Amino acid sequence: MPLSKQAQTLSSTLQSCLVKLITEAKHQSAPEERMTLAIGIAAIFPTEMALSIIQESQDNETLQPLIVAVRLENSEKVRASEEVLEVAVDVRKRMKKMRQPFRISGTL
């Protein structure tokens, strides 16, 4: 199998596993733990992949501030309530802090 096809298969498999991980966490952990897990995913993975994983987890209500934060990281214009926007600012700070050990900067 060509390397690009292997990478694509690995990416798809990894994405599916992460969706299942967040979905399972929805049933077995507190909202803050789910948010921390999802923020870690958003901090490390490319924006489109992170958004796809988070949205496929079907926990959009709890993770809405994270979805907004990721879209802001991607320089998108986002419409949300003032409360969600305020939480999104804090989420972006947490994402930045999580990236520091890996020296991942800016928008992914």
Mean pLDDT by 10 residues, the chain (108 residues): 58 78 74 84 87 84 92 93 96 90 60
Residue 83, Ramachandran bin (φ over 0: left; ψ between -120 and 50: alpha; else beta): alpha
Q: Decide if 107 is inside a domain.
A: no
Q: What is the pLDDT of residue 9?
A: 67
- DSSP, collapsed to helix, strand or coil, labels residue 108 as coil
Q: Decide if 9 is inside a domain.
A: yes
Q: Decide if 73 is inside a domain.
A: yes
User: Domain limits at 51?
Assistant: 3-102
Q: Decide if 28 is inside a domain.
A: yes
Q: What is the pLDDT of residue 44?
A: 86
Hunting for tokens 């694509």 — which residue is that?
A: 8
Q: Decide if 74 is inside a domain.
A: yes
Number of domains into which the chain is organized: 1
Q: Decide if 108 is inside a domain.
A: no
